[in-house]
């Protein structure tokens, strides 16, 4: 059978044949690292003692496209009681996957007493931005640079680091652009917006939220509610008047009905705006909105 014919078989059947091969003369071993299924490639580590893995096989496993395979190779080496060489750990500490880098960082420190932070600081290009793993406030400028000009993984790592080490510096970025670009950017940025921005600055991001995803408007309202309940009510009423779909309607009504206490004063301009919108909501005669209108009117009397 040719390699092409063999890899035309199903993954599980190939795994079965590899297992039979290891029980006999290992005649399929030369093909195992070419298998497209990571769990089949891992079979080599399970069937062969680490000391019996050839140097060529080890090089290929270290460069495997699967993070899981690379991690298992390293763990198998440790389990075999073989101390990794310094160069191996430096290579691991420069892996694109953070969990593998952290293993490299830990063992390089514990075995050889070397701090990877200084190693990263001496690097050029994308490797330099692995300093984001340490999230030190003094690197805020570097994190900003990484977000503005780095690769997508570098941008994401630097954003997490900046959010942790110096969140106020996030205001120096183009918030609207970041919100529309990427879900992972939003997952870091959005929870911080109520603390970072003013009400007007959050309102200015509404269009960016709406463009970001089908659920962008609901996400915008959650941010606004955490910043100012009454501004959220004012914006939410405008949407209720327009007759939103059920999911968006619930994202407006639920916070209003579940709010137990309000410690925010109600400015006169918002009181007037909300009152007018409640009247418009009543005039539309939608039964499902009357309870919301009644509750808001009662709440406003004590605000």
Give the model confidence (pLDDT) of 170-211 as tens digits: 999 999 999 999 899 999 999 999 999 999 999 999 999 999
Residue 248, pLDDT above cutoff 80: yes
Q: Summarize the confidence of residues 5-27 as an average pLDDT.
A: 95
pLDDT for the residue 1: 86
Going by pLDDT thresholds of 50, 70 and 90, the confidence category of residue 98 is very high
pLDDT for the residue 193: 97
pLDDT for the residue 107: 97
Q: Summarize the confidence of residues 105-133 as an average pLDDT.
A: 96
Going by pLDDT thresholds of 50, 70 and 90, the confidence category of residue 289 is confident
Residue 15, pLDDT above cutoff 80: yes
Residue 217, pLDDT above cutoff 80: yes
pLDDT in tens, 256-284: 998 878 889 999 999 999 999 999 988 88
Going by pLDDT thresholds of 50, 70 and 90, the confidence category of residue 119 is very high
If DSSP states are collapsed to H, E and C, what string results for the chain? Answer: CCHHHHCCCCHHHHHHHHHHHHHCCCCCHHHHCCCCCHHHHHHHHHHCCHHHCCHHHHHHHHCCCCHHHHHHHHHHHHHCCCCCCHHHHHHHHCCCCHHHHHHHHHHHHHHHCCCHHHHHHCCCHHHHHHHHHCCCHHHHHHHHHHHHHCCHHHHHHHHHHHHHHCHHHHHHCCHHHHHHHCHHHHHHHHHHHHHHCCHHHHHCCHHHHHHHCCCHHHHHHHHHHHHCHHHHHHHHHHHHHCCCCHHHHHHHHHHHHHCCCCCCCCCHHHHHHHHHHHHHHHHCCCHHHHHHHHHHHHHHHCC
Q: Summarize the confidence of residues 73-95 as an average pLDDT.
A: 95
Tell me the whole-structure pTM to 2 decimals.
0.83
Mean pLDDT of the chain: 94
- Length in residues, the chain: 303
Own/partner pairs for 169-174, CB < 8 Å, 24+ apart?
Answer: 169/140, 169/143, 169/144, 170/196, 171/196, 171/197, 172/144, 173/144, 173/147, 173/148
pLDDT for the residue 302: 78
CB 290 within 8 A of CB 282: yes
pLDDT for the residue 138: 97
Residue 285, pLDDT above cutoff 90: no
pLDDT for the residue 262: 87
Residue 288, pLDDT above cutoff 80: no
pLDDT for the residue 270: 94
CA distance 98 to 153: 10
Residue 102's Cβ-count burial label (10 Å; 0-12, 13-18, 19+) is middle
* Cα-based distances in Å from 54 to 44, 81, 195, 203: 11, 17, 55, 61
pLDDT for the residue 135: 97
Residue 83, pLDDT above cutoff 90: yes
Residue 226, pLDDT above cutoff 80: yes
């Amino acid at each position: 059978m040719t390699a092409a014919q063999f890899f035309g078989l199903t993954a599980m059947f190939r795994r079965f044949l590899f297992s039979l091969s290891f029980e006999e003369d290992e005649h399929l071993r030369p093909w195992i690292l070419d298998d497209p299924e990571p769990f089949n490639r891992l079979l080599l580590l399970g069937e062969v003692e680490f000391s019996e893995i050839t140097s060529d096989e080890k090089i290929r496993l270290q460069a495997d496209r699967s993070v899981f395979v690379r991690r298992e190779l390293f763990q198998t080496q440790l389990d075999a009681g073989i101390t990794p060489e310094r160069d191996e750990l430096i290579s691991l500490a420069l892996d694109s996957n953070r969990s593998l880098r952290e293993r490299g960082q830990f063992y390089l420190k514990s075995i050889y007493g070397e701090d990877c932070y200084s190693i990263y600081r001496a690097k050029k290009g994308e490797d330099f931005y692995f300093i984001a793993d340490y999230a030190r406030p003094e690197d805020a400028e570097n994190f900003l640079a990484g977000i503005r000009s780095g690769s997508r993984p570098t941008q994401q790592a630097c954003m997490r680091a900046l959010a942790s080490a110096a969140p106020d510096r996030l205001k120096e970025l183009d918030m609207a652009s970041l919100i529309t670009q990427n879900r992972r950017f939003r997952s870091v940025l959005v929870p911080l917006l109520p603390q970072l921005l003013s009400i007007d600055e959050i309102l200015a991001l509404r269009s960016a939220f709406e463009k970001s995803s089908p659920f962008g408007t609901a996400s915008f309202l959650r941010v606004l509610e955490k910043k100012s309940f009454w501004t959220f009510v004012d914006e939410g009423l405008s949407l209720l008047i327009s007759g939103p779909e059920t999911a968006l309607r619930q994202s407006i009504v639920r916070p209003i009905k579940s709010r137990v206490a309000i410690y925010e004063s109600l400015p006169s301009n918002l009181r007037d705006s909300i009152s007018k919108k409640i009247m418009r909501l009543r005039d539309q005669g939608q039964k499902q909105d009357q309870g919301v209108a009644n509750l808001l009117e009662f709440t406003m009397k004590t605000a």
